[in-house]
Structure 1
Amino acid sequence: MAAVIPVALDPAHVRIVLVGQGPLAKRRLLQLVDGGASPAVYSPEPDVELAALAGDHLRRTLPSPVELDGVHALFIVGIPDEAAETLARQARERNILVNVEDVVPLCDFHAPSVVRRGELLLTVSTGGRSPALAQAIRERLETLFPTVWADRLAELAALRDRLRAAGAKGPEVLRACRDLIAAKGWLP
């Protein structure tokens, strides 16, 4: 089993590009946008919906090697295997992290299944081994953590900010936050 390192990327500091077409490309683009990214989208034959979602970020071609310069993370979805392999190789030559949807040997990273509740981000990953399991667990997490968790996190963040402003240190802040969670009965 390969080891993995979970990270959350800040799209304000990471240049992301999506290359692809079809329903999986649309899904990936929506996930990237939901995460705050505004990726360049390269799609030789985008359908109407992908073109509309990508808007001004759409380029109706595959990226040239020069267009990959300065990219940090490249998502490849729904293009022919030979083109995906070529793009993955070109990206790696430029030290770009690559994810080729459902082609584990071509992936430097895997995008987890995601539940967003405001700033609360819950993720599930199987390292690309079983997207079906990741999806099933994500669906369960959606029921365990309904949308009200966005407000709960905001309440905890406000408490943390007040305590920090009053000079409280880490252990005291942690204890106060855990006490609030317990008092409200948020986690059984």
Structure 2
Amino acid sequence: MALAPHRLRLGLAGTGPAALRRLRALRAAGAEELHVYAGGEDATLAAEAGAALQPTLPGEAELSRLHMLWIAGMPREQFVPLAEAARRLRVLVNVEDEPDYCDFHAVAEIRRGDLLLTVSTGGAAPGLAGAIRRRLEACFPAIWAERVKEAAALRQSWRAQKVPMAEAAQRLEALADERCWLSCPKAN
């Protein structure tokens, strides 16, 4: 399942490099209504969060307005009560590197325009997911953003011509084959 982050109210609570990575990933995914709760002095996170920064952790009123909450870089004594409060309020929670506190798992992702490729191990081996992501990056370079635009334009044209969806899919697969779009360097 891929959610549309621009339609959701998202929260990020934490500090340090883990929270900064998550902030960047959420913004890259298109998060528009993002609230960053940094309970502590983290100048880098504060600078990147900008107007989204809240200087304290969220209370129940703030949590109740969120759809999803990421927690990263926080000690256990802080994240456990926060995660439990969010769950009571039916907010989906992800605590980085704590699978028992995750209602969903963050995926290793590659973005090429509208193309989104993801890898997940369900939180069991994030390092492996990252290694697979790096391999996929080599197979799907930046040119894929333009390829997706081209395919989308063809699809729109075919829809206007009332070409059946199954036939349009076959045409796009044939195009990818003719242009060798799906060839990938040999794996080690």
Structure 2: where are the runs of 5+ without partners?
184-188
Give how far 1:11 is off: 1.8
Aligned match of 1:54? 49
Aligned match of 2:70? 75
User: Does structure 1 residue 175 correspond to structure 2 residue 170?
Assistant: yes
Q: Provide the identity percentage.
A: 48
Equivalent pair of 1:99/1:109 in contact (CA under 8 Å): yes
Show CA shifts across 1:83-132 (max 9, x none): 11111111111111100000010000000001111110011101111111
User: Does structure 1 residue 9 correspond to structure 2 residue 8?
Assistant: no
Aligned match of 1:28? 22
Q: TM-score, structure 2 length as denominator?
A: 0.94
**SS of residue matched to 2:142:** coil
User: Does structure 1 residue 19 correspond to structure 2 residue 19?
Assistant: no
Give how far 1:12 is off: 2.5
Aligned equivalents of 2:109, 2:5: Cα separation in 1 = 16
**SS of residue matched to 1:147:** coil
Aligned match of 1:4? none
Which residue identity does 1:117 align to in structure 2? R
Equivalent pair of 1:22/1:46 in contact (CA under 8 Å): no
Aligned equivalents of 1:150, 1:46: Cα separation in 2 = 38
User: Does structure 1 residue 142 correspond to structure 2 residue 116?
Assistant: no
TM superposition outliers: structure 1 runs of 4+ over 3 Å: none
RMSD of aligned Cα (Å): 0.9
Give how far 1:46 is off: 3.8
Aligned residue pairs: how many? 182
Aligned match of 2:89? 94
Q: TM-score, structure 1 length as denominator?
A: 0.94
Residue 159 of structure 2, aligned match among 154, 158, 164: 164
User: Does structure 1 residue 124 correspond to structure 2 residue 112?
Assistant: no
Equivalent pair of 1:92/1:98 in contact (CA under 8 Å): yes
